[in-house]
Structure 1
Amino acid sequence: MRSAQPRKVRELNSHYIEQHETQMEQRSKSKKGLARRLSALGLFVILSIAFTAITLHSQNSVLNEKLEKKQILENELARLQILERDLNDEIINLNNLEYISEIARRDYFLSRPGEIIFKVTSSSSD
């Protein structure tokens, strides 16, 4: 049996090994640089998407508020147009002498000469 002697292996310092090691170092640096660039690009894309989503959400909520306000104002406009039509009808009626005389008889109990006005109350015991 052989005794346990340490083996002496001599390392070859050849040009090929040095060149291979420098290539491996460059590849490692290149991979790290690529990873950094891709990480920065990914972060930029994520931030851009987040900013766009936040902007769209805020614009959508503002749009919904404005649509609700528009609906309320359209309802108010319709109500005011009906009121305007009624008031215009009232103006036309107030320029009519027969309508004025009817109101004077009904509300102020005025009568024509020789006319007697009776106020009749309606009973709700039907």
Structure 2
Amino acid sequence: MTEAAERFFEALPSRAPEVLGGLADGTLQIDLGDDHRTEHWLVRMRPGSVRVSRERGPADAIWYSSAALFDRLITGEAQGVAAVLRNESTFSGNVVLFLAFRRFFPDPPGTRDPRETARRAAGRLR
């Protein structure tokens, strides 16, 4: 496990109030594989809160990713849904939990919110 991934998981509880809305309610098990070893993270999500542990356990959904791909996800260099669609990672269970969890990942470097771009353009038109 990389130090960046450790810091990412440690920061989840403090970021949850701003990231998680009302649909996230359940447990997501994240399995990160590297060589011949798999590390497990259990992320219990509720609206506005997250609890993280290094366990396997009963989960409403399971997401498997390589540790290398996960490092790219936490830097914005890769996108979670695209990785699943390309079979670079696998997911089973309650898809709402995966969609909610991906909101913790940053946007790709250099991207801008199209709403903000439109607001700036509208301000220049006045």
Q: TM-score range by the shorter chain?
A: under 0.3
Q: Which of the pair has the greater relative contact order for Cα pairs under 8 Å at 6+ separation? A: 2
Between structures 1 and 2, the one with greater strand share: 2
Greater C-alpha Rg: 1
Superposition TM-score, scaled by structure 1 size: 0.22
Between structures 1 and 2, the one with greater helix share: 1
